[in-house]
Amino acid sequence: MASITFFGGIGEIGGNKILLHDGNGCRILMDFGRRMGYYNTYYGGFTKARSNSGARDLLKLGVLPKIDGIYRKCLLNGHINTLPPANTKDADIEWDAFNKAPDYWDAQAVVSYEAWRDKHDNKAFVDAILLTHAHYDHVQDISFLSEKIPIYCTRETKTLAKAISDVTNTAADVEFYYYSNPVVDIYHPLPKDLYRVYFPETPYINKDPVKVNTFFPQINRTFEVETSTPKIREFNAMPSGKPFSIGKFSITLIETDHSVPGACAYLVEIDGKKILYTGDIRFHGRGTFTLKDFCKAARAPVDVLVVEGTRVGSTVQLTEVDIEADIAKEIKAINGLVLVDFNWKDVDRFYTVWNAAVKAGRTLLILPKLAFLLFQLHVLDGKKYMDPREMKGVRVYLHRQGEMLYSRDDYKTTDGGYVENWGRNKAQKDNNLKRIKENIENNAAQPGDAAAWELATHHFKHGVRAYQVRETPEKYVLMFSYWNVNELLDLSNSSGELPQCKYIRASCEPFNDEMYVDEAKLMAWLDKFKISYDPDVTGGQTIVKRKHVSGHASKPELEDLIKNLSPKVVYPVHTEDPGAFKGMVPAGVTVVDTIIPGKEYAV
């Protein structure tokens, strides 16, 4: 008999981890996101999870669920495949922990993907991951899963996962697109041809190195620098509305609307039963996606509905068009610079702010990583997504960074242009141009070194700098957040002020302590530079009033959705108030509002 098991998203917003079993050995995961609220209970600011401890710390804390057969071996116990010989020098010191604290290296309570397959005739525990969208609370913890588990999603989600990875610092917990399995073994003693430290018999982690000869005068010999080339996970971009099979499951991806491109739901059919997982969903975005269309695509009625309930307590039904009109009106009333805060992955909100800026006769200055995402989407589908280089009323804001000289040497990767792997180049003849040229040609753009160089240095050549904004602030709307507050030092005049400047917050309200702290710091910066903003109060604390519509359905929309889908059983996830659904469903519908983590529920 088929079953469904929940490991995350239970009584919390985000962290969805849902397992479906066909009863015959085939299993699929629906999302595997970070429990952001739970994670932030323990970590925040400078206190972060130890990257080199793999998945073991997060398993011990309960951030990751203890499930056998899904995690990467190198993140569970990949360090220790050999122990030192008994006569090893200093074995009683450096190797002592290997014998007395094996849990440091081996998450013994969890069996790795590889170990599970070895014990089950090469049959994997999980056969696929169905990913609804690329928000961290749905995708991030895929980083810890075996790269051998294929991922299914929309083409936009694949593109967004790549773009996020390309502009994010490398770490073990952001390997949901690229991955590397560097930890192979610990060798002892150190090979004679490898002198990377002063002590040749010191234990070290072999990272399958790409050998680079480097000379250190104080050691007086060359040695190898260990690097690891990242690989790409298997992403299968599936079309909307066309069923595909995994084991006994028949799966239909259904494109939906959310605050990032490429969001989708999944209709899973097994043994004559229909299970619908909405993912994060709304019906008030910029597009034409309607509740009626969704229910038709889901072939209602369904038997089991796994539905998000982020806004189950809200009756507000504003649309992106409403927000656009509100922001445009406010921009027109301001004589100085306008700062607008919105998430760079929210492409709908970008169009909202861009249209508002254009209506007010201004140019919107965006961050390089948003420009990069827009370009990647354009490469994916030039008919659906515009080329940001050709958008009227949009320019890239060029931050002063590096040596603070606005020099080509100050910029790397997508800070300087639209190519993610070009490094800091001093001249057009740099060898990295070969990679730039390959990137252009692979993306079917115009080939040639000149086009490659133009693409790689586009922001440097065409971007707008702080001193230029300061000359004519009334011409611009600047994409801005707490993480950009240092720009105020360059944007302000010699008196440390930005005359007639207004800050508009077009993003979600704070939902944890760290966000409230950041909000307070942001307002301190705004006050320091005499920038106006509209205050509001939530949770007893002063914040900036929002001009925002959520990426999630409101209570009235959820009620209509359940009514039209006519499910027999409802599992509320991604909500802090699952009990609210009991008063929203028609008679005869069962609401499982107290889901037990790890329990198998029959479908």
Specify whether 540 is located in the same domain as 569. Answer: no
Cβ contacts of 208-211, under 8 Å, gap ≥ 24: 208/182, 208/184
Specify whether 528 is located in the same domain as 384. Answer: yes
Specify whether 483 is located in the same domain as 437. Answer: yes
Residue 96 counted as domain residue: no
pLDDT in tens, 138-173: 999 999 999 999 999 999 999 999 999 988 876 778
pLDDT in tens, 580-603: 999 999 999 999 999 999 999 999
The DSSP output letter for 463 is -
Specify whether 117 is located in the same domain as 29. Answer: yes
pLDDT in tens, 234-244: 999 999 999 99
Give residue 269's Cα distance to chain centre. 29
Residue 85 counted as domain residue: no
Residue 326 counted as domain residue: no
Residue 209 counted as domain residue: no
- Greater confidence, 103 or 135? 135
Residue located via tokens 């005499």: 530
Q: In the structure encoding, which two tokens stand for residue 483, read together?
A: 């993480």
Core vs surface per residue 263-284: b (16+ CB within 10 A) or e: bbbbbbbbeeebbbbbbbbbbb
Specify whether 597 is located in the same domain as 515. Answer: no
Q: What per-residue confidence (pLDDT) applies to 222?
A: 36
- ∠ CA 236-237-243, rounded to 5°: 90
Residue 227 counted as domain residue: no
Instruction: Examine the pLDDT at 433 and tell me if it is beyond 60.
Output: no
Q: What per-residue confidence (pLDDT) applies to 206?
A: 54
Specify whether 411 is located in the same domain as 503. Answer: yes
pLDDT in tens, 447-462: 555 677 788 889 999 9
Residue 323 counted as domain residue: no
Phi, psi of 558 (to 5 degrees): -65, -40
Q: What per-residue confidence (pLDDT) applies to 184?
A: 46
Instruction: Examine the pLDDT at 209 and tell me if it is beyond 50.
Output: no
Q: State the CATH number of the domain containing residue 58.
A: 3.60.15.10
Specify whether 519 is located in the same domain as 562. Answer: no
Q: What is the mean pLDDT of residues 103-111?
A: 81
Specify whether 571 is located in the same domain as 594. Answer: yes
Residue 187 counted as domain residue: no
Specify whether 505 is located in the same domain as 562. Answer: no
Rounded CA-CA distance 502/485 in Å is 14
The DSSP output letter for 187 is E
Specify whether 280 is located in the same domain as 300. Answer: yes
Written as one letter, the residue type at 271 is D
Q: Per-residue confidence at 424, pLDDT binned at 50, 70, 90?
A: low
Phi, psi of 395 (to 5 degrees): -135, 165
Helix (H) / strand (E) element for 294: namely helix 291-297
Model pTM score: 0.89
Closest CA to 487 of 461, 518, 510, 464: 464
Q: Per-residue confidence at 78, pLDDT binned at 50, 70, 90?
A: low
Residue 28, beta-bridge partner list: 20, 128
pLDDT in tens, 374-386: 999 999 999 999 9
Instruction: Examine the pLDDT at 219 and tell me if it is beyond 70.
Output: no
Closest CA to 327 of 347, 343, 341: 341
Specify whether 307 is located in the same domain as 412. Answer: no
Specify whether 539 is located in the same domain as 572. Answer: no
Instruction: Examine the pLDDT at 485 and tell me if it is beyond 50.
Output: yes
Mean of pLDDT over the chain: 86
pLDDT in tens, 290-322: 999 999 999 999 999 999 999 999 888 888 889
pLDDT in tens, 557-576: 999 999 999 999 999 999 99
Domain of 444 in residue numbering reads as: 333-544
Residue 168 counted as domain residue: yes
Q: What per-residue confidence (pLDDT) applies to 151?
A: 98
Task: Give how many domains the chain has, as a whole number.
Answer: 2
Q: What per-residue confidence (pLDDT) applies to 82?
A: 53
Domain boundary (544, 568, 587) is at: 544
Instruction: Examine the pLDDT at 22 and tell me if it is beyond 70.
Output: yes
Q: What is the CA radius of gyration of the chain?
A: 26
Domain boundary (494, 519, 544) is at: 544
Q: What is the mean pLDDT of residues 257-280?
A: 96
Instruction: Examine the pLDDT at 522 and tell me if it is beyond 80.
Output: yes
Omega prior to 301 cis, within 30 of 0: yes
